[in-house]
């Protein structure tokens, strides 16, 4: 294993930035992480935590290339991080039911066609469905069932990783400090500057700022079309293990947590940086959820929230060195799949930083 004693500044403490930090300190790097607000509290906290792209056959192969490592990576990291943090990621392999009739053929063939055994599925009849999940609407007739799909409780994941990093001797975390620009000398960045003019220096700099990426890269003549996409969620509280499976129809999903919370979502809207919860979107999510599981109406809605995803034209993130700068790197633009791609994205960036052979083809992610 190759080790480095170099210092890396990571800008952004969402799941991509945090997993990048974890990956780097495992290989000897010293890491300083900056976030303009609270660490681990933006889109990474707000998402659903499904450890697969929704309808992976709809995505560019480069997304699935990284996403296929998500579940096993988090299982491994949980074993390492939880004894120190005291917080279980709560990875639940409850499987997923997809009810979109027009997706059946592609869903059933995906595991075979793309050599992804974790995506193996079968077509369930109405009788099969209601034996597997008696909470479902009795009118639902068929579904494609993916028994190996899992979800992670992303607020616990991010808080666990953050707590682990906070106690690590090679990590410094600086919250509520907004890095706004860089100073350079020819082909090298020499400092990151915050909005008060304070300068911070390192051997390498990583942009992992999600939806806020464009403002940092514009001075380098880059326009990657990474922009905020508003996503909204509704949270129900039911008895523990009340809903046995994840359910999805027409991009709307229900995700059961271990303690009986049911996460329902999600929307995609371009509202700029407006994070307000909107009543019309909430009602659409609620009606979609009740169409799948009508008895949810008997339980309370305990929370509603929204987050800003780093929308990008193809959903393929940018991972690698920036332009003609030999020590500025990017790990951004993951759109709806940042959480599931984050462990593999972090590894791919670290391998490029080390100048070693990468475990997957880095070409599709180049800036």
**Residue ranges of the domains in the chain?**
7-79+155-226+313-365, 93-152+227-311
- Residue-wise pLDDT for 202-251, tens only, equals 999 999 999 999 999 999 989 899 999 999 999 999 999 999 999 999 99
Classify 334 in phi/psi space as left (phi over 0), alpha (psi -120 to 50) or beta.
alpha
- Residue-wise pLDDT for 38-89, tens only, equals 998 877 888 899 999 999 999 999 999 999 999 999 999 999 999 999 999 9
Domain 93-152+227-311 coded CATH 3.30.9.10: yes
Where does the chain have alpha helices with state H? 15-25, 43-46, 61-67, 70-85, 104-113, 126-132, 154-166, 214-217, 279-292, 338-354
3-class DSSP assignment, residue 334:
coil
Residues contacting 247, CB < 8 A, separation 6+: 96, 97, 99, 133, 136, 253, 254, 292, 293
Q: Which residues pair with 258 in a beta bridge?
A: none
Token pair for residue 7? 């210092």
The contacts found for 275-278 with CB under 8 angstroms, 24 or more apart, are 275/230, 275/306, 275/307, 275/308, 276/306, 277/232, 277/304, 277/305, 277/306, 278/232, 278/306
Q: Which of 46, 34, 365 is nearest to 228 (CA)?
A: 46
Token pair for residue 132? 């597997």
Token pair for residue 87? 């917080």
CA pair distance 242, 239, nearest whole angstrom: 5
Dihedral angle, C-alpha 121, 126, 128, 132, nearest 10 °: 90
- 198 φ, ψ (degrees, to nearest 5): -75, 140
Positive or negative torsion for Cα 149, 315, 183, 272: negative
Q: How far is CA 211 from CA 7, 61, 172, 269, 308, in A?
A: 25, 22, 23, 13, 7
pLDDT, residue 253, reads 97
3-class DSSP assignment, residue 257:
coil
Residue with tokens 């109406």: 297
Residues contacting 307, CB < 8 A, separation 6+: 42, 43, 45, 46, 47, 230, 231, 233, 275
Token pair for residue 306? 């929204």
CA pair distance 107, 120, nearest whole angstrom: 9
Positive or negative torsion for Cα 315, 337, 150, 136: negative
Digitized pLDDT (tens) for each residue of the chain, 367 residues in all: 556 789 999 999 999 999 999 999 999 999 999 999 999 887 788 889 999 999 999 999 999 999 999 999 999 999 999 999 999 999 999 999 999 999 999 999 999 999 999 999 999 999 999 999 999 999 999 999 999 999 999 999 999 999 999 999 999 999 999 999 999 999 999 999 999 999 999 999 999 999 999 999 999 989 899 999 999 999 999 999 999 999 999 999 999 999 999 999 989 999 999 999 999 999 999 999 999 999 999 999 999 999 999 999 999 999 999 988 999 999 999 999 999 999 999 999 999 999 999 999 999 999 9
Architecture of domain 7-79+155-226+313-365: 3-Layer(bba) Sandwich (3.50)
Q: How far is CA 245 from CA 202, 311, 324, in A?
A: 46, 28, 48
């Amino acid at each position: 294993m190759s080790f480095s004693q170099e210092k890396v500044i990571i800008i952004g403490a969402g799941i991509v930035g945090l997993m990048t930090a974890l990956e780097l300190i495992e290989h000897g790097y010293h890491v300083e992480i900056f976030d303009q607000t609270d660490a681990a509290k933006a889109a990474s906290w707000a998402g659903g935590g499904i450890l697969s792209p929704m309808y992976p056959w709809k995505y560019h192969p480069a997304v699935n290339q990284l996403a296929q490592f998500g579940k096993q990576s988090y299982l491994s990291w949980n074993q390492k991080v939880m004894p120190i943090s005291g917080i279980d990621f709560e990875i639940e392999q409850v499987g997923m039911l997809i009810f979109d009739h027009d997706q059946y053929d592609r869903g059933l063939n995906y595991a075979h066609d793309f050599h992804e055994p974790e995506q193996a599925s079968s077509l369930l009849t109405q009788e099969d469905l209601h034996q597997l999940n008696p909470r479902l609407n009795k009118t639902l007739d068929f579904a494609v069932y993916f028994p190996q799909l899992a979800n992670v409780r992303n607020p616990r994941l991010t808080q666990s990783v953050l707590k682990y990093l906070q106690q690590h001797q090679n990590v410094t975390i600086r919250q509520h400090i907004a890095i706004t620009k860089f100073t350079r000398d020819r082909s090298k960045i020499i400092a990151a500057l915050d909005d008060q003019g304070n300068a911070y220096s390192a051997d390498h700099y990583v942009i992992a700022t999600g939806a806020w990426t464009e403002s940092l890269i514009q001075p380098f003549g880059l326009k990657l079309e990474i922009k905020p996409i508003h996503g909204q969620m509704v949270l129900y509280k039911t008895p523990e293990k009340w809903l046995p499976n994840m359910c999805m129809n027409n991009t709307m999903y229900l995700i059961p947590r271990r303690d009986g919370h049911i996460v329902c979502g999600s929307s995609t809207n371009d509202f700029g940086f407006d994070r307000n919860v909107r009543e019309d979107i909430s009602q659409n999510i609620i009606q979609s959820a009740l169409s799948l599981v009508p008895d949810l109406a008997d339980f309370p809605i305990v929370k509603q929230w929204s987050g800003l995803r780093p929308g990008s034209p193809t959903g393929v993130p940018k991972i690698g060195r920036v332009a003609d700068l030999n020590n500025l790197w990017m790990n951004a633009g993951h759109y709806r799949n940042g959480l599931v791609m984050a462990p593999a994205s972090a590894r791919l960036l670290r391998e490029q930083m080390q100048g070693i052979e990468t475990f997957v083809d880095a070409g599709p992610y180049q800036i």
